[in-house]
Structure 1
Amino acid sequence: MTQVQPATGHRPLLLVVATGMRTYREYLLRSIRSEFDIHLFHVDEPTWEKEYISGWTVLPSTLDGPAMADAARRLHAVAPVAGVLCWDEGRIHAASCTAEALGLRNGEPDVIWRLRDKGQTRAALDAAGVAQPRSLPVKTLEEALSAADRIGYPVILKPRGLGASLGVVRVDDAVQLAEKFAFTAGMRGPDPEPLVYSTDQPVLVEELVSGEEISVDAVVQDGKVTPLFVGRKVVGYPPYAEEIGHFVDGDDPLLTDPQLLDALQDTHTALGVRDAWTHSEFMLTAAGPRLIEVNGRLGGDMIPYLGLLATGIDPGLAAARVACGLTPGTTPSHLRVAGIRFFYVTHDDTRIESVAFRRTRLPAGVEQLVAVAKAGAVVSPPPKGTVWGRIAFAIATGDSIGECGAALDAAESALDVRSDQDATLARDELKVHGN
């Protein structure tokens, strides 16, 4: 089913592929709507999105690039499309196939697949001499043990085709590797992998590089990379690499750091990225930045929204403009710090009764308090819960990371979670006292 509304004046028509969770992505559609007409490709008739879009097409799948390209050609014949944008990791390759079919920017499926397949990423950067951790692709536990011996412990195990740190774990010796290999090799994302993804070496064994891990959201036009937001990661639940928070400083010195800027540009050049919004992750080591991975989309975890709060640069509009070959706005209107913190339950398989924040006496820096888990949901902390184990998050701003962190501390203190574990813990306590 396709529904096309009349165009609004002479505004460009942007084709958006899927939207993701409203909680995490609505702000992008809201911004884009101010300058663009939006046509949405989705697998269901839109609900909350209708406030922002001018039309939609319901498809059997948004993972099938050729089929989606055919639908885009039909749309383009009726309402010319100026650009294609997707911020969902599982769908950026199919979206690139669609852009290619229309002769638009970011229509380079091979480049996008080079980003999605971290094995290809490593090979391309090795060939170009870009600094990164040593990495070996493997299929079996025996191959992984051999690779770890060659690299030297500790090492990181990582699925080569997933995002959101799914399946990523540190192992310090052969015993731990044997224990954790099945965890990494068996990890699956929320969507079935596209048919074009095939490899008999699905796991990467990588050198552990130490330092501070950061992310860089950037726009790329005609191969030139312009960094917009640097995210300082807060990582928890070792030995897993769960991202439990981020800080974005609008005046971060890394935005003008020559070493990082050179590494960022060299990385994109080596990977062949010419027109896109990208989310790159680096480890800042004593020997300089080391590339962890590059994603061909806007960052997750509300990082672009933190960038908006910290700088005034609108990520939705910038990404849409780049997709349409227009000049993005990259000049900050203000400089401050924004942060986010995610909250989890303590025990696996906890059934939620309610999640809420007590909103009295919170500092002015608290910008948002969002309960994610609904009554009846069964959630777990990492590693079982990962991204989908989050029950709530808070966003705050301040003049420094310290001030922003203090506001997030206050928000955490105001979180009230009720679950079936409350009754279990009470019963256990009575048993202890009864003895």
Structure 2
Amino acid sequence: MARVLLLLPTTSYRNEAFVAAARRLGLAVTAAADYCHRLAPEWGLPPRMAVPFDRPEVAARTLLAELDEQPDAVLAVDDAGLELAALLCRHLGLPANPPEAVRRVRDKLAFRELLSAKGLTCPRFAHLVADADPLSLLATLDLPVVVKARRLSASRGVIRADDAPSFAAAVERVRAIQRRADRDAERLGLLVEEFIPGSEHALEGLLENGRLRVLALFDKPDPLDGPYFEETILVTPSRLEPPVQRRFAESVERACRLAGLVTGPIHAEARVREETVWLLEIAPRSIGGLCSRALIQALGMTLEELILRHALGMALPEPRADEAAGVMMIPIPRRGLLRAVHNVEAALQVPGVVEVRITAQPGEVLAPPPEGNAYLGFIFSRAKRPQEAEMALRLAHLQLAVELSPEYPVENAPARVRPAC
């Protein structure tokens, strides 16, 4: 029986999907997580299998000493464990992307530097070191600009600024977000780049010995012009002209090759302006949230099962493009405490809608980007044409009513000391 080691982040939407796919394939699963070691037993994990994913060298040493059996594959199900998975594969002699390649594409600044050095189309950019005066960069970049945290995902810590005052405010805000989310915030600083207008698209693919197999190309029909960049709708197949789709795929494959990525899932984001493809980012993982469920019909299986099959050298299906599919990441209207989401059954009655999944729990504090990194839920649709799949999502969303209340006041609450983990 083949064995897979899955690296499960605390808050990933995809943990359950990968575990379920492994079970369908009859695999033996070993799990490691970035939970606190004191809480690990509550998730059925030995305390030594709870490791800090954001300290990959430390985590790798711990897991290598703890493993009883050599796995046939190691997979990180989300961004947090990517570098750790690459390090483990190197030590275990398993095929994988080099850790330095993973590190390079996870860092938005390092990825921009690579694109610029190798002549790929990318916006002009600058590195704003910690505590530097942000206004000093405006002599080298044209407004509007986008301020970005270097290693966060899901539009967290990404803000557009159109003038000097909004730029200074954006920098202060993104610095605070990055400090809360990344232990290396002060060392990293921020990426500042010129804003590129145009439509935005996402490519889902699989690298096989450095060659890119395109699984799907998504359009993002809602304008993503800022000041914040909350993603909502993804629809496939893309309505881009075939030559532009080919250039997108060719740019992704070339960027992967230059970065040193050779195998496994790829999720790429780009803007298209006047048929020019501007790569925004490439991640050596699959699409985020529950969005992979939109591809089940086209792949004939879940995307997670396909990724596991690839990692273990098993046969892969050819994608079918016989219908359109869409997914909406349900927008969070404002920051607040979730009370309820009403009229889900009415949304399910919209023609073309196949599933509505509310993932946030009552009592959970929700926030839209740039602070938030969780979703309210997901709506999925299928139709003959992309525009019909898109319209079904919009009509279903109109049925939903989200009930939020202000967060509980904490100004006068006594300080609480958390136990060290």
Q: Shorter-normalised TM-score: what interval?
A: 0.7 to 0.9
Deviation at 1:261, TM superposition (A): 2.4
Tell me which amino acid in the other structure corresponds to 2:207: V
Tell me, yes or no, if the aligned pair for 1:250 and 1:311 is still in contact at 8 Å: no
Matched, 1:404 2:392: no
Deviation at 1:262, TM superposition (A): 1.8
Matched, 1:353 2:328: no
Deviations 1:125-164 (A, max 9, x none): 2222111112211126765333333221111111122211
**1:46 and 1:329 mapped to 2: Cα distance?**
36
**2:83 and 2:12 mapped to 1: Cα distance?**
22
Deviation at 1:404, TM superposition (A): 1.3
Structure 1, 85-94 or 358-367: larger mean CA deviation: 358-367
> How much is the aligned-residue C-alpha RMSD, in angstroms?
3.1
Deviations 1:359-408 (A, max 9, x none): 14713421211223322233334444x333x3333111111222112322
Please state whether the residue corresponding to 1:332 is helix, strand or coil: coil
Match of 1:339 in 2: 326
Change in Cα spacing, 1:32 to 1:106, as seen in structure 2 (3 Å) is same
Match of 1:366 in 2: 353
Tell me, yes or no, if the aligned pair for 2:159 and 2:370 is still in contact at 8 Å: no
TM-score by length of 1: 0.81
TM-score by length of 2: 0.84
**1:260 and 1:328 mapped to 2: Cα distance?**
26
Match of 1:282 in 2: 270
**2:303 and 2:320 mapped to 1: Cα distance?**
13
Deviations 1:311-355 (A, max 9, x none): 43542122223333x15625024522221223345443x333222
Tell me which amino acid in the other structure corresponds to 2:95: R
Change in Cα spacing, 1:377 to 1:236, as seen in structure 2 (3 Å) is farther
Match of 1:329 in 2: 316
Match of 1:208 in 2: 195
**2:63 and 2:343 mapped to 1: Cα distance?**
44
Pick aligned residue for 1:70 from 61, 84, 89: 61
Pick aligned residue for 1:219 from 206, 224, 230: 206
Please state whether the residue corresponding to 1:187 is helix, strand or coil: helix
Tell me which amino acid in the other structure corresponds to 1:96: A
Match of 1:309 in 2: 297
Tell me, yes or no, if the aligned pair for 1:119 and 1:204 is still in contact at 8 Å: yes
Pick aligned residue for 1:387 from 357, 367, 373: 373
Q: What are the within-5 Å matches in structure 2 for residues 253-272 of structure 1?
A: 257-272=245-260
Match of 2:128 in 1: 138
**2:13 and 2:188 mapped to 1: Cα distance?**
35
Pick aligned residue for 2:81 from 75, 91, 95: 91
Structure 1, 78-87 or 253-262: larger mean CA deviation: 253-262
**1:18 and 1:345 mapped to 2: Cα distance?**
25
Tell me, yes or no, if the aligned pair for 2:237 and 2:321 is still in contact at 8 Å: no
Structure 1, 119-128 or 262-271: larger mean CA deviation: 119-128
Tell me which amino acid in the other structure corresponds to 1:63: D
Please state whether the residue corresponding to 1:273 is helix, strand or coil: coil
Gaps of 5+ in 2: 407-421
Query: How many residues matched?
Result: 399
Change in Cα spacing, 1:381 to 1:291, as seen in structure 2 (3 Å) is closer
Deviation at 1:73, TM superposition (A): 3.3
**1:189 and 1:366 mapped to 2: Cα distance?**
40
